[in-house]
Amino acid sequence: MWDVVRPKSIQEKLDEAEQAQADKVAAQERKLWKGAEKALKKGVDNAALGAIVSMGTEPADFERKGQKLYLRTGASSANLHGLVLGGSGAGKTETLKRLAAIFASQTDYDIFFIDPKPTADLKFYFAGLMAEYGRTCKMYPDSPFNGFRGDARSVHNRLLTIPVLGTEGASAYYAELTEEYVWLGMNAGDGLPRTFDEVAQRLDYDYLLQYYANDPTSLQSIQRIKRQDANSVVMRFNNVARKFSTISGAGWAFEDVRAAYFGLPVLEASRDVDAIARFLIEDLKHYFATRKQRNRRTVVFFDEFSAFGSENVVNLMELVRSHGGIVILASQTTAALGDDRLQKRILGNVTIYLQRMNDPREVAALGGMQPVLDVSRHMDTKPNPNGIARYVDKSVIDPTKVAQLPLGGAYIINRGRVAHIKVQQAPVLDWNKIGTTHLDLALQWMSANNPNAPVLVRRASPAVPHAAAAARPLAPARTEPTPALAHGAPTKAATPSNAPNQADGADDFI
Ligand SMILES: Nc1ncnc2c1ncn2[C@@H]1O[C@H](COP(=O)(O)OP(=O)(O)OP(=O)(O)O)[C@@H](O)[C@H]1O
Ligand SMILES: [Mg+2]
């Protein structure tokens, strides 16, 4: 009771004032977030990345129109490399899907998606999205993939990703021997091998002794490797051949297609899947450097990319930059990017889409600092209501707020500039409209025969040949209303916006 009448101490008054200020800011933030949600609901626009919650200085490679934010897909590809960072369930995959929808609807880029956690849902979604925009998406492992294109040197490099080769001491010596052994084996036949089976057969020790019987130099090289070491290499290729029979010279290669989805469950931690992931990245490097037509541009998405070996992916990213390619990565933590050196190589070269994560301090700091007015008050025995005001530097992105971001919230950090947005959910597909013209037959087959696959094709009859599956009509895959997908023109140069924007004039960056 006494508390009610007791005069408040100066400290209590200050605490209350601070609390009131924090409540005011929180209410303003909620209002801005609701405004962004409303803007997204108002008009589905497949060119937009999301709606602006608040914005400091406009990020260079983005443009704002009204309350929506657009990626300038015409920017130099070097500026379009991206990294989506966020904790589990923060919305990373959804952001990748949205970016894929932007590239599909606004550009002529070829689009590849590499997925370490393949699910039927994502597989079908991605294929449907590509089909919606006229790209037939080839599916790995459902359709045979040709990983054997290129000259002997490049196929050799790729094959060497399969056995695990050491780089130090005795294992370095062993690696050198294996390298030579695989080279000689690979070339011991008519032309280059076209399957892992064929590679394993050519690497058989006795076969090689016989094949090079009249070539003393090569024979000597073969004999320098012990039979049991040779056998272990052969075994690796045999295992890979058994599990990855859909990689063969008869299939499609990157340069043959406009879109592709790779389901490579590397997170299941199988040595063979890891090896295939390395093989695939090596093949991608060769595709970018040598096989890709100069005038074609390609964007590659890697979800949870550290699962593929961060260094491999970063090397790929640095290589594709000079070959008209873009790499967009997703990761749960900064630690997963690799050691300090690797983190710097990545963070210094990408647009960051920072979503909810527990410890974002390091990344948040990349959004730069801004001077904010800090008022400190004297707490003498005699209350002094006058404080001292001074400017202090504070991180533009408040790490606490990143840790509390709602689903789909993201800070975009692009060349030191920041925008806070709500990412627009990836477009809902209308399978009736998509039709079968641009659907990989393997996918139609799966839909008809796999109870876990979305229903693209009526499952009226059981096992049907591909052609019959293709001929049957499509049923809608989802029940929710399907807003028409806008095939709008690419976004133009930034226009001064006179549309209402709740962030306008707000100095506080929230
Ligand atoms: N921008 C968004 N708007 C609305 N819903 C979203 C948005 N982003 C994600 N979601 C929904 O939240 C859920 C989780 O999203 P998502 O799978 O993209 O998260 P994630 O970060 O990839 O999670 P994980 O770490 O498990 O892979 C999904 O059901 C998705 O539809
Ligand atoms: Mg995900």
pLDDT at residue 164, rounded to an integer = 75
Task: Kindly report, residue by residue over 251-272, the tens digit of the pLDDT.
Answer: 999 999 999 999 998 877 678 8
pLDDT of 23 higher than 60: yes
**Contact indicator for 426, 97 with CB cutoff of 8 Å:** yes
Instruction: Return the higher-pLDDT residue of 8 and 260.
Output: 260
Output the residue whose Cα is nearest ligand 1's atom 12: 91
pLDDT of 30 higher than 60: yes
Q: Which residues line ligand 1 (CB under 6 A)?
A: 86, 88-94, 332, 407-408, 423, 425
Task: Give all strands (DSSP E) within 177-243, no chain letters.
Answer: none
Tell me the average pLDDT across 230-246.
90
Output the residue whose Cα is nearest ligand 1's atom 28: 91
């008054």: which residue's tokens? Answer: 13
Architecture of domain 37-143+254-380+396-423: 3-Layer(aba) Sandwich (3.40)
Q: Which atom of ligand 1 is nearest to the CA of 330?
A: 22
| Main-chain dihedrals φ then ψ at residue 116, nearest 5 degrees | -85, -5
Sheet holding 110-115, edge to edge: 62-65, 68-71, 48-55, 417-423, 409-414, 351-354, 82-85, 325-331, 298-302, 110-115, 259-263, 137-140
pLDDT band at 496 (very low <50, low <70, confident <90, very high): very low
Task: Kindly report, residue by residue over 123-141, the tens digit of the pLDDT.
Answer: 999 999 999 999 999 999 9
pTM, two decimal places:
0.85
Q: How many CB atoms lie within 10 A of CB 188?
A: 19
Residue of 87, 141, 78 whose CA lies nearest to 277: 141
Q: Which atom of ligand 1 is nearest to the CA of 86?
A: 21
**Contact indicator for 395, 365 with CB cutoff of 8 Å:** yes
Please state whether the peptide bond connecting residue 141 to the residue before it is cis, i.e. omega within 30 degrees of 0: yes
């490679």: which residue's tokens? Answer: 61
Contacting residues for 19 by C-beta, under 8 A, at least 6 apart:
none
pLDDT of 504 higher than 90: no
Tokens of 112: 């590849």
In eight-state DSSP terms, residue 27 is H
Output the residue whose Cα is nearest ligand 1's atom 31: 94
Q: Domain limits of the chain?
A: 37-143+254-380+396-423, 152-243, 431-471
The string of DSSP letters for 51-95 reads EEEEESSPPTTEEEETTEEEE-TTS-GGGT-EEEE--TTSSHHHH
- Calpha distance 283→161 (Å, rounded): 10
Tell me the average pLDDT across 194-213.
96
From ligand 2's centre to the CA of 403, what distance in Å? Answer: 17
- Calpha distance 228→337 (Å, rounded): 37
Q: Given ligand 1 and candidates 52, 83, 333, 407, which is best to mutate, with the most ligand atoms within 8 Å of its CB? A: 407
Tell me the average pLDDT across 273-296.
93
Task: Kindly report, residue by residue over 359-391, the tens digit of the pLDDT.
Answer: 999 999 998 888 777 777 666 656 566 677 788
Residue of 262, 271, 367 whose CA lies nearest to 305: 262
CA distances for 440 relative to 135, 175, 255, 280, angstroms? 10, 40, 16, 20
